[in-house]
Structure 1
Amino acid sequence: MGLLKDLESKILIADGAMGTLLYSYGTDCCFEQLNLSHPEQIQSIHQAYVQAGAHVIQTNTYSANYIKLQRYGLEEQVKELNSAAVSLAKKAAGGNAYVLGTIGGIRGTGPSSLSLEEIKRSFREQLYCLLLEGVDGILLETFYDLEELEAMLKIARSQTDVPIISQISLQEVGVLNDRTPVNTAIKRLEELGSDVVGLNCRLGPFHMIKTLEEVEIPKHAFLSAYPNASLPSYVDGKFQFEGDAEYFKNSASLFRNQGIRLLGGCCGTTPAHIEAFAKELNGLPPVTEKNVRQRPEPIAVASSGQKPQISLPEILQERRSVIVELDPPRKLDTTRFFEGAKALKEAGADAITLADNSLASPRICNTSLSSLAKAQTGVQPIVHLACRDRNIIGLQSHLMGLHTLGLHDILAITGDPAKVGDFPGASSVYDVTSIELIKMIKQFNEGVSLSGKDLGEKTQFTVGAAFNPNVKALDRAVQRAEKKIEAGADYFISQPVYSEEKLLQFHEAVKDLPVPVYVGIMPLTSSRNADFLHYEVPGIKLSEEVRNRMAELKDDPLAAAREGLAISKSLIDAATELFNGIYLITPFMRYELTVELTQYAYDIAPQNVRRIQNV
């Protein structure tokens, strides 16, 4: 008859997880590569689902696309892997089940640096491979990003008349990551030509059914559901799902009551779960009408009652601004740090910035010191937040903590890799890039977490971003800066500059940016200090003239320190003609140097705000 014709009058049972079974058998690799290396194993799993009562099975091609296969060096085998997968599924089906060509979402639950155009190219290649093999339909599954799924659906619908099943995945009941209600998303997919629309993965039967209670039965499509068996546990270094097949049997009628026509399983499900669905729903007609639970109107999310101090971009609209980096100590004695914070506040610094384990070396937590410094001295802290040390969970928790402490200024940075620091064997996390972190912070300002959950109130973060002017291709640095602005960056802080020529080049490169820039200046303390910065610290380059000036005084520490101050003052003279923002970096907790430079930066003319640098 045909898949869609059968769905008009029947509830069809689909298969369950492929990867879960392969993982349980001890196979932890690229599962799609097994289509070629262990075809008998793949075919036997398909057969087990057909024997369990599945009317519909899917090919082992969830990640058989160019982008995902690159992780294993298999990107040139897209055609071979997809073709083999369809052949194995057809042999297992033996004419007793429909075969769907599966294509999985790429963007996943977290931020992604992949452009939609890259994803489209990868999708088209896999789609054509599956269609050439004569699948009975295309299954688009596990899409957390609605934009991505809509784009893939449009391509697929324009290329084929075979049935298309489109399934979204959720982290919260009833809404997608971007807070789109599920019912709205399903209607949009129906309008774009999807023949079957539904949910899969992440949620177990309980929460998936609760979500489906808010979903209307489509007028021109059918509903599908592929729940997870349970949440996974982690035992002896392996993930395990403990969902009970009897529980699936008891939930089968509840899925039917929500109008589901295609019912299968996702992570953790086995032939036993599918058999439970099949036995419970065998011969029962589908439900065509149901009462829909209305999703409550979203409550306007208010900002916190805590009002942050005036932001740095606002300060720069009124006058010159000086901020100073005062890094947390490596040791537990904080006396010098708090003396420095107090002295810099009294010198007129608009804020102090606190690095986040710079050069991948452990220091006292910058959040703790920021909170104490603000309370004890009244200084405005800017908390550096590095992507290196925290996964997506930790970053979001950290942001919630900063908001709770009333710390509203953040510098979003990538962070030096662990291998350059004190513990080169430590892990560098990098779940997100600095650009993606900026987006996340700005989403918090809308009262929404990365997963789409309501935070209860809006944060009020001002986000700074890093800019390195000491690169050969400044135009590329500007292009990256523009991406950061697009993500939501409010201003930039630069690495230190050590020549007037570089200042002019830097200004020329960034003068058209729509946000202000703080130009970095760090006083040198000795010739050895100058050489270390130039040769060993990533992102910092000194001019030959500056190194020679410091080298001439290598045997006179006091004179070298005075010369370092003189160089910095000369750079401040030049910088204030071009930039409204000065960013001073304190070397070795010698805050007396940056206190003097702070006062100097405010004392020199002109004091009025200059419009050369956009603010």
Structure 2
Amino acid sequence: MRPARDLLKPELVVADGAMGTYYAQSGPGDSSTCEEANLLRPDVIRGIHLRYREAGARLLRTNTFAAVSLTGPGQPDKLRRLVSSGFELAADCAGADMFVAADIGPAYALDDEQALAGNTLAVEAFLSCGADLFLFETFADPKEFLPLCRLIRQKSPDAVIACSFALSPDGLTRKGIQLEQLASQMEQEPDIDIWGLNCGIGPTHLARQVARLGARGKPLSLMPNSGYPRMENQRLVYGSEPDYFAREVAGLRQDRVRILGGCCGTSPRHIAALSAALARTQMPPRPFAAQAAPAPARPAKPSATPLADRLARGQFTVVCELDPPRDSRIEPLLDAARDLKSSGIDLITLADSPMARVKMDSAAAAIRVYRETNLPVLPHLCCRDRNANALRASLLALHSEGIRQVLAVTGDAIPESDRGFVKPVFNLNSIGLLQLIGQMNQDQFAGDPILA
């Protein structure tokens, strides 16, 4: 294997493609997961690594992306074995002119403390194997892996640390962080040597995001999906032909780009086509921005809502809570709101299906009350019934209607009698929702934030 520091030299390196989706398509067909195959079917994983090598890949990622999520907090010995075997398999398949990256993915199935503990154990296992190149990929927030980078830097100062983020087509991570903010932070982060984008989007959308970056900066790693998935015969299938993938990804080549490879849906055929396209022609590269687009400016002082203004002045504030109706008849709620306004109430707060009993959506009810009474409203926003995308959508709707305050609520548990039919979400808790709102206040709501 080549030493990881060679990856910092100005040359383009072709990485491998997907492991998980390719294993699902070409693996043994049993119930074992991709990472478990390191122990149960090492011949299959070795064969996949070798096929990528034959396709022209000069960087192999260890088959350990979901090892921490798979083992959870209670199987440290199994996690060590998965990591060690994953590294050994990739290293055995790598030639003298190749790199091996210790691959670590997010563990969103675990809580933050468990994920950090598991990833710390994985990092230590990789270091004990002699890993000198680490790749944190498909993350949504730098804070999820930066403590691990500090650990690596302390124990192996010469290690090369790369990270990669998954974006939606509109340039946001699943936690609502914009590409420009990621770029600004990664360029200034001393423990990150290479950063980039992978997963989430196909080559064309990734190219549009890359065009927003400056032409100068740290080396980049770009590994898009082959395309977008669809369901066929109850299986997730990714689109795009290898030639299309190769043409689009080869067009990403620039002085800054150090690694080009593939993520979900790609196969050795995609990497072979990419290697051939890069070797065959000097394709006209897509331009970067003349300079990196600045991150949205954070307002020096948030705009005051009537509630925030009253509280800041120390004024006594009278708040009344109304429950949205159990049906679609909202007139009684509006009549009550009008009566409260005439009584001198300062603000109405609207609950979000308390006790997990279904009532009208609190955001919709708040919008109607605010439209028809012009009385400040404070809708509750509950994490129990919405994932991060749905919470973000509700916040966008509220903001568009002039509502500038919400109450973040984790939510009551689903009653035991309903649990066979109703499933809780809890993608975030109230603290996570506050963080999401804070992020949106810097991005979509910059200069006109929502108070939470």
Residue aligning to 1:60: 63
Residues 171 and 202 in structure 1, CA contact (< 8 A), matched pair in contact too: yes
1:100 pairs with 2:101? yes
Highest Rg: 1 or 2?
1
Match of 2:450 among 461, 473, 480: 461
* Counterpart selection for 2:277 from 272, 276, 280: 280
CA-CA distance at 1:166 after TM superposition: 0.4
Match of 2:135 among 124, 139, 155: 139
Match in the other structure for 1:470? none
Name the CA distance, whole Å, in 2 between partners of 1:291 and 1:415. Answer: 45
Q: Give the alignment's TM-score, normalised by structure 1.
A: 0.62
The CA distance in 1 between the partners of 2:164 and 2:64, in whole Å, is 17
Tell me if the contact between 2:441 and 2:450 (Cα under 8 Å) persists in the aligned partners.
yes
Inter-CA distance 128–346: structure 2 relative to 1 (3 Å threshold):
same
Q: Show CA shifts across 1:389-423 (max 9, x none).
A: 21111111111111222233322111223335767
Amino acid at match of 1:188: Q
C-alpha change, 1:247 and 1:179, in structure 2 (3 Å) is closer
Alpha-carbon spacing, 1:76–1:326, altered in 2? closer, same or farther (3 Å): same
- Structure 2 distance, partners of 1:135, 1:18, is 19
- What SS does the aligned partner of 1:276 have? helix
Matches within 5 A, 1:247-326: 247-282=244-279, 293-297=290-294, 310-311=306-307, 314-315=310-311, 317-326=313-322
1:545-583 per-position Cα deviation (integer Å, ceiling 9, x unaligned): xxxxxxxxxxxxxxxxxxxxxxxxxxxxxxxxxxxxxxx
Tell me by how many angstroms 1:371 deviates.
3.0
C-alpha distance 297-58 of structure 1, shift in aligned 2 (>3 A): closer
Deviates more, 1:98-107 or 1:14-23: 98-107
Give the corresponding residue for 2:43. 40
Between the aligned partners of 1:178 and 1:309, the Cα distance in structure 2 is: 26
Residue 238 of structure 1: how far off its partner (Å): 3.4
Aligned to 1:246: 243
**Matching of residues 133-282 of structure 1 within 5 Å:** 133-135=129-131, 137-160=133-156, 163-171=159-167, 177=177, 180-181=180-181, 184-189=184-189, 191-192=190-191, 194=193, 196-213=194-211, 214-216=213-215, 222-282=219-279
User: Structure 2 matches for 1:507-522, cutoff 5 A?
Assistant: none
State the match for 2:20 in structure 1: 19
Report the residue type matching 2:103 in the other structure.
T
Cα distance in structure 1, aligned partners of 2:183 and 2:84: 35
- The answer as to whether partners of 1:330 and 1:364 remain within 8 angstroms in 2 is yes
Query: Aligned to 2:35, what secondary structure does the other structure show?
Result: helix
Partner of 2:78: 77
Would the aligned equivalents of 2:18 and 2:263 in 1 still touch at CA under 8 Å?
yes
Q: Which residue in 2 is equivalent to 1:600?
A: none
In structure 2, what is the Cα distance between the partners aligned to 1:321 and 1:8? 63
- 2:167–2:199 contact (8 Å) kept in structure 1: no
Find the residue that maps to 2:318 and give its secondary structure. Answer: strand
Question: Tell me, what secondary structure is at the counterpart of 2:167?
Answer: coil
Q: Where does residue 383 of structure 2 map in the other structure?
A: 387
The Cα of 1:27 is off from its aligned counterpart by: 6.4
> 1:141 aligns to what SS in structure 2?
strand
- Per-residue deviation at 1:272? 0.5
Structure 1 residues 97, 421: closer, same or farther in 2, change over 3 A? Answer: same
| Alpha-carbon distance, 1:19 to partner | 0.6
Report the Cα offset of residue 237 of structure 1: 4.0
Runs of 5+ consecutive residues of structure 2 not aligned to the other structure: none
- Which sections of structure 1, spanning at least 5 residues, go unmatched? 449-454, 464-615
Q: C-alpha distance in 1, partners of 2:73/2:32? A: 9
CA shift, 1:357, in A, is 1.4
Deviations 1:115-160 (CA, angstroms, capped at 9, x unpaired): 5xx6554333212212322346333333332344443333223322
Q: Which residue identity does 2:243 align to in structure 1?
A: E
SS at match of 1:362: coil
Q: 2:318 & 2:225 partners in 1: Cα distance?
A: 54
Superposition map of 1:414-433 within 5 A: 414-420=410-416, 425-433=421-429
What's 2:354 paired with? 358
Question: In 2 relative to 1, CA 104–245 (structure 1 residues): closer, same or farther, beyond 3 Å?
Answer: same
Aligned residues: 441
Query: Displacement, 1:266?
Result: 1.4
**1:123 is paired with a residue of what secondary structure?**
helix
Cα distance change of structure 1 residues 258 and 316 upon mapping to structure 2, 3 Å threshold: closer
Q: Which has the higher contact order (CA 8 A, sep 6+)?
A: 2
Is 1:373 matched up with 2:344? no
After TM superposition, the structure 1 stretch with the greater mean CA deviation from structure 2, 348-357 or 162-171, is: 162-171
For the residue of structure 1 that corresponds to 2:428, the secondary structure is coil
TM-score (norm 2): 0.82
Measured after TM superposition, the shift of residue 315 of structure 1 is 4.9
Q: How far, CA to CA, are the matches of 2:30 and 2:429 in structure 1?
A: 31
Task: Quickly say closer, same or farther: Cα 1:362–1:263, change in 2 above 3 A.
Answer: same
1:442 aligned to 438, 443, 446, which one? 438
Note closer, same or farther for the CA distance 1:250–1:402 as it changes in structure 2 (3 Å cut).
Answer: same
